[in-house]
A and B are shown apart, each in its own frame.
Chain A
């Protein structure tokens, strides 16, 4: 087995809340541009008068969580909780 291995977050599920004015299309587009992200799924789970609650599924390899947080903050979206995480190691 090789000593060298790349590892990182490969999947993360975020429970988030955003103002209704923010478009989930824009949000998904911004998230998928982040480094290491291959795929973004956003589901609206709850709609309130001023806000919407989202379930954001992010898949990729070595996903940069800080970058994801920054993008969410830029879109005035607040992380309520992180509901699932997968980490993977890739043999080189």
Chain B
């Protein structure tokens, strides 16, 4: 029994080790970070535009905002997954072909680390591309989901939602600042400013 447990722990450790190697070899970390920030920003601002738009058009039903917003973010998630999967796969295949030419050998279909790492990288990039906007949109829509079941006014839900969205945007900027080693707060504020500008544009379009 004890030995069996140790076997499982060992297997998990091996899996994590392998995973780390694949991430390192495929250098997917950088791409994943970029996808995450870009698409979470997309998701959050789509929701913001949706909320502001529906408020201004006099459509004050939280259910409409939730189903519309979540529908949009679900579509973004699916399109993100397929788009990233195909474009990453194409990019990686080109790289493998280039390496094959340099090394004068076949790498595709050999089950080598480079090949496996690329497969993992493609799936990881696609998953992040799909989940980041959906997650950001769901969190932004949370106050409206709450408003569907409990009695709070549309205006309150909207205020909370906009606050949450701007917080997400700020955190994304903060994260970028951390990555770049620059001032995270400055980055966060620039992102918030960009978000506000975009919602202003939305205001004038409705």
Interface residues of A (CB under 8 A from B): 17-19, 21-23, 26, 48, 50-51, 73-76, 78
User: Residues on B close to A: CB < 8 A?
Assistant: 21, 24-27, 98-99, 102-105, 107, 110-115, 117
Q: Which of A17, A23, A76 contacts B107, CB < 8 Å?
A: A76
Majority secondary structure of chain B interface residues (helix, strand, loop or mixed): helix
- How many inter-chain residue pairs (CB < 8 Å) link A and B? 45
9 intermolecular pairs with C-beta atoms under 8 Å apart:
A21-B25, A22-B25, A26-B21, A50-B99, A51-B99, A51-B103, A74-B113, A76-B113, A78-B104
Nearest CB in chain A to that of B98: its residue? A50
Whether A73 pairs with B98 at a CB distance below 8 angstroms is: no
* Given A50-B99, A50-B102, A78-B104, A21-B24 contact (CB < 8 Å): yes
Chain B positions within 8 Å of A76 at CB level:
99, 103, 107, 110, 112-115
**Min CB distance, A54 to chain B, in Å?**
12
Q: How far is the CB of B103 from chain A (nearest CB, A)?
A: 5
